[in-house]
């Protein structure tokens, strides 16, 4: 009798499959932070004002 169960698969994805998702998340996050941080529309500015200062991103 073996210690390994038949049919059990390793669910970890290789780095080559995880990297595109990680890079997309980084680019999307950067775009959102900078996009909201540099926008001149007052409604967007006010909606994100406290969050920006919370992460030390200047907006003035």
Query: pLDDT at position 39, please?
Result: 73
Statement: residue 5 has pLDDT above 70: no
Contacts of residue 11, defined as CB under 8 A and 6 or more positions apart, other chains included, come to none
Nearest to 48 by CA among 25, 18, 34: 34
Cα dihedral 17→22→28→30 (10° resolution): -150
Domain limits, the chain: 18-54
Query: pLDDT at position 54, please?
Result: 78
Query: pLDDT at position 55, please?
Result: 77
Q: Say whether pTM exceeds 0.85.
A: no
Query: pLDDT at position 24, please?
Result: 96
First and final C-alpha spacing in the chain: 69
d(CA 17, CA 21): 8
Dump pLDDT digits (tens) for 14-46.
Answer: 888 899 999 999 999 888 878 777 777 777 767
């Amino acid at each position: 009798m073996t210690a390994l169960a038949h049919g059990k698969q390793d669910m970890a994805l290789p780095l080559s499959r995880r990297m595109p998702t990680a890079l997309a998340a980084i680019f999307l996050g950067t775009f959102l932070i900078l996009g909201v941080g540099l926008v001149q529309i007052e409604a967007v500015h006010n909606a994100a004002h406290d969050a920006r200062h919370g992460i030390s991103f200047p907006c003035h």
